[in-house]
Amino acid sequence: MINFEDNSIKAHTIGDAWRELITLAVRKGYDYKIESGSYEGQIRKQLESLKIEISNPWERPLSPIMPPNVPPPTDDDKIGEYAERYLLSNRKTENEVYTYGEHIVSQLPHIIDCLNRSNGNTNQARIAIGNEQTTLLSDPPCLNSINFKVVNGKLNMSILFRSWDIVSGFPENCGGLQILKEYVLAHLTFPCEDGKLICYSDGAHIYEMYFDLVNILNVEKC
């Protein structure tokens, strides 16, 4: 369900959220010419703000189910590889300026311990992505923070993106982060179930190069 007035979405699965997010961006996004950053010179449709609540983000497939003959932005194998390589590993190649995993992996033991010591009654289970050095990069991390909170016996995850590629980035990022949430859940020592994935961004956008795909999906007619 989309609320066009405040740019918010409530969805059942990650795939549902992705389709509704594209529709929201087409209808409410403003034209943004990229003067600095990835794809300089392109026009993109960008949302001023965004909040998404996904009630059942664990449901498989994590990737969107596409119409016949339309290539998917990702698939569950790629999402699994992304989670393993860039979220649950601190390995970085010579050509990579940063990975999310180098920030996440070092904080995971403390986050899990914090949740377990409090039996989930804490607001301090937060992973920060980046530091005072990454803010100086020409392209700083898009993901800024990951928060874990236990609400009514369920583990929720909240994520904040400063900039977010809706078409190809959103489904792979959300799928990978859901796998990260399942990893944390598996290491909790108190009764807890899987919960919501809550997403925030003030820079979610559709790149110009994806406009043809958006037209194929006919989201403007939804």
Query: Domain total for the chain?
Result: 1
**CATH code of residue 169:** 3.30.572.10
Model pLDDT, residue 221: 44
How big is the CA angle at 194 (ends 193 and 195), to the nearest 5 degrees? 115
pLDDT band at 203, cuts 50/70/90?
very high
Structure tokens at 222: 């939804």
Lowest-confidence pick of 39-43, 70-74, 116-120, 192-196: 39-43
- Domain extent at residue 38: 2-63+71-221
What does the pLDDT average to over 183-201? 98
Calculate helix-pair angle for 169-186, 100-117, nearest 10 degrees: 40
pTM for this predicted structure: 0.93
Model pLDDT for residues 22-71, shown as the tens digit of each residue: 999 999 999 988 776 666 777 899 999 999 999 999 999 999 999 888 88
